[in-house]
Amino acid sequence: MKKVLISGASGFIGGFLVEEGLRLGYEIYAAVRKTSSRKYLSDKRIQLLELNFDNAQELQLQLEAHIKSKGKFDYIIHNAGVTKVAKKGDFWRVNFLNTKHFVDILIDKDWVPQKFIFMSSLAAWGSGEKGSTNPICLHHSPRPLNFYGKSKFAAEEYISSRKNFPYLFIRPTGVYGPREKDYYVFFKMINRGIEAYIGYGKQYLSFIYVADLVNCIYLALASEHSRKGWFVSDGNYYESRTFSKITKNALQKKTLQFTLPKSVVKAIAFSSEKIVGMFGKYPTLNMDKYYLLAADNWICDTEPLKNDLGFVAQYDLERGVKETLNWYKDEGWL
Ligand SMILES: NC(=O)c1ccc[n+]([C@@H]2O[C@H](COP(=O)([O-])OP(=O)(O)OC[C@H]3O[C@@H](n4cnc5c(N)ncnc54)[C@H](OP(=O)(O)O)[C@@H]3O)[C@@H](O)[C@H]2O)c1
């Protein structure tokens, strides 16, 4: 059986990566921290591995101990990362530095796997042309809008600078599905009858349902491809109002609509960052988040993904949202 190490296994996407890996017959090693939740990692076939990505020396010792007894990993999916932080510097530290140290260890110790999949993000490229439905394409120059995107892009740059290192970059757009906690805030608002928008112009979004994303990742892992990357979405784009409409229909809710001008949201994000920052913290609505929320075009070109991996999403937004909402309801989240 081929061994797959999955970092960030305790998180939203990580849990699904673990489940799909088991279903496909891989020997799954789930990297967790002491503090990580094991809620969705209870399957007896999962081999839990405590790895401290925040300390390169300790990480090397932990990997060494493991590899001595069980051998090298055939594949690594480096999915651990932060999308929101308590301290601004954490984007750089976790998404860039921890990835750099991990890759350095693998190369220096001759533990390079057959494939190293790095979970990047569409944010590494930045948003598309304003006021248009032209997608963000691989041949466009990356222009990350915020610290999150910059940290992912820097990690990509470092990984690709290492000669012969067999990486693949997966750059998902917004991922939604059961257990997810950010879109959940939006679903909860609609459920309470509130439909909020930022800015008066049209905003074009793209999405990928978590089951499709993990399917795509295992296609990439098993493919002949190396040293390249793809954007991942369901191949469609949706106006932000369509997203609300689909959700309202699925929840059978009527809503009160309101729109906040971008300048107001920006001012709130800016001042809360300053005020909360005085206490050494980073607020939920911060400038980093503002740039992501306010961008007009998050459409991405998925043709290369289709051509290279034959990937076709099974879930459009309507089907995915229905399944997600059913899960939230069944679990008492809604
Ligand atoms: N969700 C999206 O829409 C989206 C879109 C594009 C890309 N991504 C990328 O996909 C990956 C997974 O995202 P997610 O949505 O599943 O996020 P999540 O639910 O917050 O999971 C993040 C995972 O990373 C782990 N992690 C965070 N900091 C770590 C550290 N310092 N050391 C070791 N592990 C650490 C977490 O461990 P603990 O449980 O111990 O905290 C958790 O398992 C991330 O790299 C993210 O940037 C997500």
- Domain holding 167, by residue range, is 3-176+207-234+299-313
Quick check: pTM over 0.85?
A: yes
Domain count of the chain? 1
Q: CB of 121 closer than 6 A to ligand 1?
A: yes
- Sequence-ordered strand ranges (E) for the chain: 3-6, 27-32, 47-50, 75-78, 115-119, 167-172, 174-176, 194-198, 204-205, 207-209, 228-232, 238-239, 256-260
Q: CB of 12 closer than 6 A to ligand 1?
A: yes
Inter-CA distances, 160 with 53, 56, 70, 85, 175, Å: 20, 20, 28, 26, 25
Instruction: Name the DSSP class of 44.
Output: T
Q: Which atom from ligand 1 is nearest to the alpha carbon of 123? A: 6
Rounded Cα distance between 138 and 44, Å, is: 40
- Angle, CA 82 vertex, CA 81 and CA 83 arms, to 5°: 125
Q: Is residue 139 part of a domain?
A: yes
Q: CB of 83 closer than 6 A to ligand 1?
A: yes
Q: Is residue 294 part of a domain?
A: no
CATH number at residue 111: 3.40.50.720
Q: Is residue 262 part of a domain?
A: no
Q: CB of 81 closer than 6 A to ligand 1?
A: yes
**Residue 262 has what pLDDT?**
94
Q: Is residue 163 part of a domain?
A: yes
Residue ID of nearest Cα to ligand 1 atom 8: 121
- CA of 14 relative to ligand 1 center, distance in Å: 8
Q: Is residue 80 part of a domain?
A: yes
* N-to-C CA span, the chain: 40
Q: Which atom from ligand 1 is nearest to the alpha carbon of 176? A: 3
Q: Is residue 181 part of a domain?
A: no
- CA of 119 relative to ligand 1 center, distance in Å: 9
For 259-312, what is each residue's pLDDT tens digit? 999 999 999 999 998 898 888 888 888 898 899 899 999 999 999 999 999 999
In the chain, the largest separation of any two C-alpha atoms, in whole Å, equals 60
**Residue 131 has what pLDDT?**
86
pLDDT along the chain (334 residues), means of 10: 98 98 98 97 98 98 97 98 89 98 98 98 95 95 95 98 98 97 94 94 96 98 98 97 96 95 93 87 86 94 98 98 98 96
Residue ID of nearest Cα to ligand 1 atom 7: 121
Rounded Cα distance between 241 and 138, Å, is: 27
Strands 115-119 and 207-209, by their bridges, are: unpaired
Q: CB of 54 closer than 6 A to ligand 1?
A: yes
